[in-house]
Structures are given as structure tokens and as C-alpha cells.
Amino acid sequence: MTTVRDATLAVLRGYGVDRVFGNPGSTEVAFLADLPDDLSFVLALHEGSVVGMATGYALATGRPAVLNLHTTAGLGNAVGALATARVNRAPLVVLVGQQDRRHLAAEPFLAGRLDQLAGPYPVWVEQPVLAQDVPSAVRRAWHEASLRRGPALVVVPMDDWTAEVDPSLGRAAPDRVHAPVPAAPGPAVDELARLVDAATAPVLVVGAGADGQAAWDALAALADRIGAPVWQEAFGARAGFPQHHPRFAGHLPDARSRLRATLAGHDLALVVGTAAFRQYVYEPGPLLPAGLTVAVVSADPDEVHRSEADLAVLADPADLCAALAARVAHRDRPAPDRPHPAPVPPPAPGEPLRATHVFAALARRLPADVVLVEETPSTRPELHRMLPARQPRGFVSAAMGGLGFGLPAAAGLRLGDPTRPVVAILGDGSSLYAIQGLWSAARYNCGVLYVILSNGRYAVLDRLTEQYGGKPPWPAFGEVDVHGLAGSFGCPARRIRTHPELLEVLDEVVPTLATRTEPLLLDVAVSPEPHFAP
């Protein structure tokens, strides 16, 4: 007899799946018990960490990660992380447990109304009508996640796993689905080329959808060809251009008045791999300076349709920009005058460490191929200036902005690609949203360097409250011991309180990043930075 479980495992095996991320519950035991030797279970201690690890793994491998969530509580705990996975373009196949189908109508204990619980963030959700259909639903979820780059959910009642599959009934999904072959350069490239050649001062804006070697090469060739500066989108989750390139101008501001000032003097903005334009704090007034034409190129239909643009092209950024670079006229223009970050002197005797001291020390030591995971809201601008992404996937952050992504995602990134060193720079407040992820990093030999900037407060929120003329109603939490918490989860940790201690440990640890299999957390006491830009 072939059971639904047997058939589903065969589907996963056929796609080369060798692990399932999850936090187990009773509605999933029939699937998880006695997993075959070629399929391992990667345990995280909270569903947000499950999704965070799986997201990092999927971003590192470029293939869907498979994860298991436990009915209403598990899926509910994971919704914010699933939203981040969707906006981070991470393909996930999510198996969600459900109560026994035979009494589901009576809503027994642990039953859930699951099809809408994650809202619009999954790219596809299905609870098969028949147990027989579960393997086909998992097969389709793989295709949906792969092609639409997001989480695809299959809700499986617990008794379905032991049901018998009747092969005579066939299946409702193909084994393989090929993505559309990119169209040859055509009218879209012709129209974009005319816009670029007619512009007197074009500018490129890049986003996370251009984070890949082919897109970087095409964009660098295009920027050099037309002599344009290149800006990174505000709050970009990944780098869309080599940030050490001479034509890289910096990160766009996230408020309308500063965006207008930055783009003033340009008559064409070619936006690649993102929407036009991401904002944060609302400001009245026009979004763009007068006279600016905007063209968007993205493989994401949502980005194309929500952009304030004169022309939008749904296409692969690398292919289209390579064709465009070969089509437009050459212009001999110097690179933008971009000031280098001012040197950061070491703290004077008795002066506390600041985040910029940590960034400066890392900047002098980290290799070019490092994967830098960021979740430090109050010092993100300084991190961008001092630690540019020099290779694709060199910068990873949470596209949705919610905290709790960075710590488990760093472990998943290292697990998915152990050839790249991974360093996660997190605020202590950020780390506490997913601190239990340290257990998984230690258990599964994810050699991540976690640098925790500990100031015992939500510094970014304290400063925003002060800008509103008020006082924070929440207390500081300086008594929280991140170093001690790390030890309780089996993750080695060190306390850093002085600049010499910081340099000593970085000189010891950074050379080992490429090969280490044990995570290390540095609990670095820092004072809030004196300047702040949200």
C-alpha cells in the first residue's frame, strides 16, 4: 500500500529536498515520525525562526525550502515571517498541519481556519479536497513557490498522511514546469533606448530584484555606457549593484523632500529590480521633482504595477539591461563625486564604544565575499556607508522591516551556502525577537558570527518619539543579558566592553569565518550614536 505520506516523500525526493525546517505539533506527527534517512528535520524553537531559517536557506540556494508549521498557532506565529519571505522573494513550500478531517466540521481542539490566516502573503494556498490530492498539491506548491518566488502553503489534515493513494485516479499537477523563456529584445528595449539617448542627465536606481551577478554585470556596463550615477532603493533588502563601484552614489532617502532633492537635476530615472519609489515616514508634497521621467524594469508584476512611472517593463533585469547597454549611445562622463566615509578614530580612554567603531573594525577585516545580514535600525545608515556590498548576496535584510528575521536567516544562509562567510549585525532589541534561533545555529553547525550591538533599549524608537516631542513610555531593558542567553541556548558567546577587546576578538575570529562550523555571538556594549536619520 502506498500512503499519502509515501507519495509526498517521493515528490520531495524527486525535487532533491534533503531537509524539512519546522517546529513540531501533534497534527504533524503522522508525517514527521520516522522520517527516512535521506530527509533530515531542522528544528527551530519558534515558528518565526523556522520561517527565518528557511528563508535564508532558500535565498542562499535559489531553490524552495520546505517547512512544517503547526495548525493555527504555528501558522499564526509565522505570519509576519511569511510576509517577509514574500517580499524578500524567498521560495518556500509550507506544509501546515490541520485537525483530523473526519471531525473537522465540528471544529475540535487544534482545528484551524487556515486558508486565510496568512492573508495575501502566500503566493498560493490549498487544502486539498481529498487526501489523495495532497501529493499533487505539494507538487504544485513547489512550482508556485519556484516561479512566483514566495511561500506556497498546503494545509494537510492529520489523517490524510496515512490514507491510501489510488494510482488509478491519476494526479493533478505535472512533475516539472518550465519558466517562460525570456523574450528576445524587442519594442521595450527600443523604447527604453530612445528614452535614455534623449535624456541629458539619466540616473539609475536599483533594488533587491537586481541582486545577482548577471544583473550586476549588466547594470555596471549600462552605468558606464551612459555615464549615470547609481542609487540603491531605500530600505532595500538586498544590494542591486556593486556598492564599491565608482558609479555607486549611495542609498536613496526614504522621505519625499529628500528624494526630490536627490533626484533634482536628472530628467530620466531608470529603476531596475524594484518599484518606484519606496518611502517610510509620510511627507506631503509631490514624490518627484518636476520634469523627471521614470521607467521601471522588474520581473515582479506587483512592483511594476504599483510604481509611479511613465513606463514599466515586466522583464528579467539582467537580460533587459544587457540588451539596453548594447543599444544606447556611449557618453563619456565622470563618475559621481562620492565622498568616502570619514575615518573613525578609536574611542578615547573612558569613552564608550559606538556602533561606528564596530563597523570600522569590521570594514578593515571582512572579506569581499561576506554575506552581511543586517537588523540594526538605529545605525543602518552608518552600516550602509561603511560596509558596502561587494558581491551579490553581500547584503541581506528584512524587506518588510519587521524584527526577528536577521538572526535565524543568517543561520539559514550559512546552512544553504557554507562556502560564504556570514556575519549578522543585530541590535540587542532585534535579537530578542528570535533569540531562540541561536539554539538551531549551534545545533546545526551554522558558523555565523553574530555581532550584537547592545545598548539596552529600542534606540530607534526612543529617538523617533523624541522627534515627535514626546517621551518613550517604555522602559530600557539593560538588565537583559544577551551573552547569558546565548550560553543557555548552547551558542558560544563573548562579552566585549572595550575597543582593544573588540579588535582582539575580530583578529582571532574573522580569518576563521569561511571554515568555522560553530556560531559565535559577540555581545558588544555600545552607546547610542549621536546622530540619527530614520
Q: Where are the domains of the chain?
A: 4-166, 187-327, 355-525
pLDDT of residue 337 exceeding 50: yes
Q: How much is the pLDDT for 529?
A: 65
Q: How much is the pLDDT for 534?
A: 45
| Among 483, 260, 506, CA closest to 364 | 506
CATH of domain 4-166: 3.40.50.970
To 5 degrees, how large is the angle CA 409–CA 459–CA 523?
55
Percent of the chain with pLDDT over 70: 98
Q: What is the pLDDT of residues 503-518, one digit of tens each?
A: 999 999 999 999 999 9
Q: How much is the pLDDT for 530?
A: 60
Q: Band of the pLDDT at 180, cuts 50, 70, 90?
A: confident
- pTM here is 0.94
Q: Band of the pLDDT at 52, cuts 50, 70, 90?
A: very high
CATH of domain 355-525: 3.40.50.970
Q: Band of the pLDDT at 350, cuts 50, 70, 90?
A: confident
Please state the φ and ψ torsions of residue 359, each to the nearest 5 degrees: -65, -40
Q: How much is the pLDDT for 419?
A: 95
Q: Band of the pLDDT at 176, cuts 50, 70, 90?
A: confident
Q: Band of the pLDDT at 476, cuts 50, 70, 90?
A: confident
Q: Residue range 44-68: average pLDDT?
A: 97
Q: Residue range 126-144: average pLDDT?
A: 95
pLDDT of residue 456 exceeding 90: no
**Which amino acid would we find at residue 327?**
R
Q: How much is the pLDDT for 533?
A: 47
Percent of the chain with pLDDT over 90: 78
Q: Which whole-number Å values give the CA distances from 120 to 87, 125, 262, 312, in the listed order?
A: 11, 10, 34, 24
Q: Is 371 helix (H, G, I), strand (E, B) or coil?
A: strand
Q: Residue range 220-224: average pLDDT?
A: 97
Distance, in Å, from the CA atom of 331 to the CA atom of 410, rounded to the nearest integer, reads: 41
Specify whether the CB–CB gap between 142 and 107 falls below 8 A.
Answer: no
Whether the ω angle into residue 477 lies within 30 degrees of 0, i.e. cis, is no
pLDDT of residue 10 exceeding 90: yes
Q: How much is the pLDDT for 466?
A: 77
**DSSP codes of every residue in 211-233:** -SHHHHHHHHHHHHHHT--EEEP
Please state the φ and ψ torsions of residue 505, each to the nearest 5 degrees: -70, -35
Strand partners, 295: 270, 311
Residue 393 CB-density burial (10 A; 0-12 exposed, 13-18 middle, 19+ buried) = buried
Flag the least confident range among 46-60, 321-335, 410-424, 518-532.
Answer: 518-532
Mean predicted lDDT score pLDDT of the chain: 92
Could you tell me which CATH class the domain 187-327 is placed in? alpha beta
Specify whether the CB–CB gap between 241 and 206 falls below 8 A.
Answer: yes
pLDDT of residue 532 exceeding 80: no
pLDDT of residue 19 exceeding 60: yes
Q: How much is the pLDDT for 40?
A: 96
